[in-house]
Chain A
Amino acid sequence: LAKTTQPISMDSYEGQEVNITCSHNNIATNDYITWYQQFPSQGPRFIIQGYKTKVTNEVASLFIPADRKSSTLSLPRVSLSDTAVYYCLVGDSLSYNTDKLIFGTGTRLQVFP
């Protein structure tokens, strides 16, 4: 299973765009890249998932370069409510027909007013 590396913490101010980069050098052909958000005292919440190029939804964008060895979660115009821990996961959705996703320690994003 591919291991991911992401910054331990990041600070930002309201209204700014935040980009969190995740490194996954050993990503396999079948692996997808998934990002989750976790607020204190809550379970993680799925944000976005991609395989290659760019994926965008109402919450975030995910940029994946051609070599897929890294990915960047982009949060446009963050607000105080975006303060949370963000996890980058790489999982082989085809192996053993499971969703064996490994959570790392995540990136703690702190948004200031």
Chain B
Amino acid sequence: EAGVAQSPRYKIIEKRQSVAFWCNPISGHATLYWYQQILGQGPKLLIQFQNNGVVDDSQLPKDRFSAERLKGVDSTLKIQPAKLEDSAVYLCASSLVVGTGELFFGEGSRLTVL
């Protein structure tokens, strides 16, 4: 079974530039999550989708971050404009059944903002 796919794996940009990350969840998984993991810290939930609707985006910095999940499958996370403190790994995860606590994570996209 294919896992959660993310791209790009690495991205280096200058502050104030924009960047987009793509995620393809495991087939059939209705719930999709974006996490931000800063070096040395645990992942922090940015946004959660159930199919193509947003369930929780309380920790998403909406002035610069946006995310969408068209057709309830793939998702894109965008940062515009980027700040130095956005340097982190952006992890996408999906789950088959809400409420089980079992999330399947991708390998992440590492962003460096100079």
Report which A residues bind B (CB closer than 8 A): 32, 34, 41-46, 49, 87, 89, 91, 93-94, 96-106
Among B12-20, B37-45, B60-68, B76-84, the stretch that binds chain A is B37-45
Q: Are B106 and A93 in contact (CB under 8 A)?
A: no
- B108 interface hit (Cβ, 8 Å): yes
Report which B residues bind A (CB closer than 8 A): 4, 31, 33, 35, 40-45, 48, 50, 55-56, 91, 93, 95, 98-108
Q: How far is the CB of A90 from chain B (nearest CB, A)?
A: 10
Q: Which residues from B are CB-within-8-Å of A45?
A: 105
Q: Which residues from A are CB-within-8-Å of B108?
A: 41-43
Known contacts A43-B105, A46-B104, A105-B41; A96 and B55 CB within 8 A of each other: yes
- The interface residues of chain A, by DSSP majority, are classed as loop
14 other contacts beyond A46-B103, A99-B33, A100-B45, with CB at 8 A cut-off? Answer: A32-B101, A41-B107, A42-B108, A43-B93, A43-B108, A44-B105, A93-B100, A96-B56, A97-B98, A99-B95, A101-B45, A101-B101, A103-B42, A104-B42
**Of A93, A103, A106, which one neighbours B44 at CB under 8 angstroms?**
A103
A and B contact pairs by CB, cutoff 8 A, 15 listed: A41-B107, A42-B105, A43-B4, A43-B105, A43-B106, A46-B104, A49-B100, A49-B101, A94-B99, A97-B50, A97-B98, A98-B55, A99-B31, A101-B101, A105-B42
Known contacts A104-B42, A105-B41, A105-B42; A99 and B99 CB within 8 A of each other: yes
**Of B56, B91, B101, B107, which one neighbours A89 at CB under 8 angstroms?**
B101
Cα-based distance from A87 to B41 in the complex (angstroms): 11
Q: How far is the CB of B68 from chain A (nearest CB, A)?
A: 19
Q: How far is the CB of A87 from chain B (nearest CB, A)?
A: 6
Cα-based distance from A34 to B105 in the complex (angstroms): 15
Q: How far is the CB of A108 from chain B (nearest CB, A)?
A: 10
Q: How far is the CB of A89 from chain B (nearest CB, A)?
A: 7
Give the 4 A-B CB pairs with smallest separation, nearest first.
A43-B105, A103-B42, A93-B99, A34-B101
